[in-house]
Amino acid sequence: MRGYPSALNRAGRIFAQEDPEVGLGYLDEGIKVARQLSDGWFWFANLVEFIELCYRIWDESRQRSYLDRISSRVAEIAQAMDEYEFPDLKGRWNLVRGHLSLSAWLEDQDDVGLLSTALRHYKEGFAQIAQQYVGSSGAATIASEFAKFARLVWLLPIEIRATWQEEFRRAWAITPGSTLLLARLELLY
């Protein structure tokens, strides 16, 4: 029974490749079971995997219902973040929040606050996942996460992109794991 949340997490990730709805079902079940078992790691991990999958589906389909599913989990993620110290999972949540803020700004380019929110989430999120190598949820995710991030950043006007490059360079120069992050900045040039 203790291994069930882990199996559901893995099943969610595997089945999501072919059928995202099936993957979301496994992850949702994993969230419930991990919570019942007081398994903080898999409760938080299944939550993060769930919102990342919802973001991926929304990014591909633009179906509003997937953003609503993310919104429905915000309070639970905040609770997990208050109860547990898993910087890699917090970082991944921050990256999704950055993607969402930047995507919202790109839609109308009106709310400058969305840009500063996205920048803050990206600086914090990447710094958090770079802190330690923890399999697929920590520093090993930097390459794939940076690819998603760079795709969005390249849609920014060149002046904003240049400002962000400098902001990241300053912020990450003092971050544990900074070489993992600073080397990736070349993707923004």
**What pLDDT is recorded for position 136?**
57
Domain identity same for 90 and 177? yes
Domain identity same for 67 and 103? no
**What pLDDT is recorded for position 144?**
86
pLDDT, tens digit, for every residue of 78-103?
999 999 989 999 999 999 999 999 99
Domain identity same for 45 and 109? no
User: Could you list the residue range(s) of the whole structural domain that residue 48 is in?
Assistant: 1-84
Could you say which of 84, 102, 118 is where a domain stops? 84
Q: Which region among 5-9, 93-97, 105-109 has the lowest average model confidence (pLDDT)?
A: 105-109
Domain identity same for 143 and 176? yes
**What pLDDT is recorded for position 46?**
97
Task: Classify residue 189 as exposed, middle or buried by CB count within 10 Å of its CB (0-12, 13-18, 19+).
Answer: exposed
Domain identity same for 45 and 117? no
Domain identity same for 112 and 33? no
Domain identity same for 115 and 180? yes
Could you say which of 31, 58, 84 is where a domain stops? 84
Domain identity same for 80 and 93? no
- How many domains does the structure of the chain reveal? 2
**What pLDDT is recorded for position 98?**
97
Domain identity same for 4 and 32? yes
pLDDT, tens digit, for every residue of 132-171?
655 556 667 888 888 899 999 999 999 999 999 999 999 9
**What pLDDT is recorded for position 121?**
97
Q: Which region among 26-30, 116-120, 131-135, 157-161 has the lowest average model confidence (pLDDT)?
A: 131-135
The CA distance from 67 to 55, in Å, is 7
pLDDT, tens digit, for every residue of 52-70?
999 999 999 999 999 999 9
